[in-house]
Chains A and B, each alone.
Chain A
Amino acid sequence: MLSFIIRRGFGMLISTILVITITFILMQLIPGDPASVLLGSNATPEQVAQLRTTWGLDQSMPVQFYRYFVNFVQGDLGQSLFYQKPVLQMIGQRAETSIFLGIMALFVVIGVGIPAGVISSLTQNSWTDNVLLLVALAGASIPSFWLGLMLMILIAGKWHLLPSSGFTSVFETGNLANLKNLILPAFSLGFVNAALVARTARSSMLDVLRADYITTARAKGLAERVVVVKHALRNASIPIITVISFTFASLVSGAVVTENVFALPGVGSLIVQSVLKRDYPMIQGIMMVVAILYVLVNFGTDLAYASLDPRIRYH
């Protein structure tokens, strides 16, 4: 297991370096001189020259990359142009909302997706199965922001059951009830992915339920619940975990739009504002932080695989 962790860890390191490199290269593509773009059209040539020296833009590309890399390793992602604060600090301030939203959406993904898939597989070809399949199929094609807006119209606007937008920190106010504001966003964000998980869980369970050891388990008189949960679901879990790990990227993507729809002060709405304001250091910082998180999640998924299925460790 240790050699497996080391090998995967090395791969993770390479991915991280590549992520930083790609971000650096992309930022070089901004047309024109970054210093004058960032200072705006009113800047004097002296100001531009000064900023170029401060940022080291007058140096060669490899030197620039080296500085950029060293800064990153030291946790310095630069200064936001709009907020005039360190990028990492801004991301930190906005992280709470996004993390709560992500966790709650993940609850929807797992809590709705897996049971729906399992029920569907156990009642194959019945009307329950067909209805669940149909909902899953439609769910996977509905844009999450549209679903969010529709829920907002009905549940928040018409029936006044839940708040429609905004969020204040749970830590600062100490009020857990604030999480109520995240129920609608989390549901609209999680539903699309729950649909994918349900489809995967269903087909994976169907494969496993036909296996001989399931027949054996039933034959020796085990309770159906034990057969399904302990024998079938555990063996069907690898593809399900894969899809759930994919949902990380799609949850982040969805969160960008969902936070915007529900006016939530998260990292997603931060990047949209930064794009509209051309706050390049902020954009670059969010890109890197999110991509590296993704690499870490993948690493975690690999470890989860290896502990669920020992055969994987030797590949």
Chain B
Amino acid sequence: MKHRLLTIGIVGIALIGVAWARPSFATWSSTHCHGGSHLVSALKRVDARDYASVAVHEGYEWGGGCWNNDNRDDTPGAPDSGGEGPDCSGLVFKTWELRPEYGGEGFRWYANLTDVHGPYSAASFHSATPGLPFRDLAAKSRYATTYMDAFASLGHVGMIWSNAIPSQGGDYIVEAYNDANGTQVNVEDYRADTAYRAVRRKDWTPDCAPRCPVGGLVPRTVVLG
């Protein structure tokens, strides 16, 4: 009897334990993504790029917006599962510190472990309408764009990573690409692709602020004699 009671007790505890430990559809993001956010008054491109650099080498998740900083995809081969990483528009949303309400002006900083995607799709960036905190640029030439501007198609969006130009042309682009390739800096030819438009976030604060030279920032040329 004593042995039977002990067995029942162990089985009971095990069953309770199993029920307790059951993930109940816990996902990577629901487990790890508990970051915060706060309003900020301004954003520089250099700060935006630094923010995006944390996402580089992390995963990709359609509709996602949460990543850590371990330079690996924590949910490889598990698409659409609440896994790690932003999708393309989620990366732009957080990097540009857009407000979570559609069309909201101003800036909100989000921790990388804040699981937020924002209300904009790639198509929203591609076909920016008046009243949004970003706008389509009239031209895509290198004179018209600078780093942290974006190229958007109806299905994808990525940001210019550097004004440096690869020898074979194209641009360095930071982008949440797809589940297999994750979030990376790639050399892309979006500028030349008719499907893509150039897009700019409104209201950047110049990188040189608060000590910008009169007349604005001019390229600094250092002569090596």
Q: Do A and B come from one complex?
A: no
Q: Please list the residues of chain B having a beta carbon within 8 angstroms of any beta carbon in chain A.
A: none
Q: Please list the residues of chain A having a beta carbon within 8 angstroms of any beta carbon in chain B.
A: none
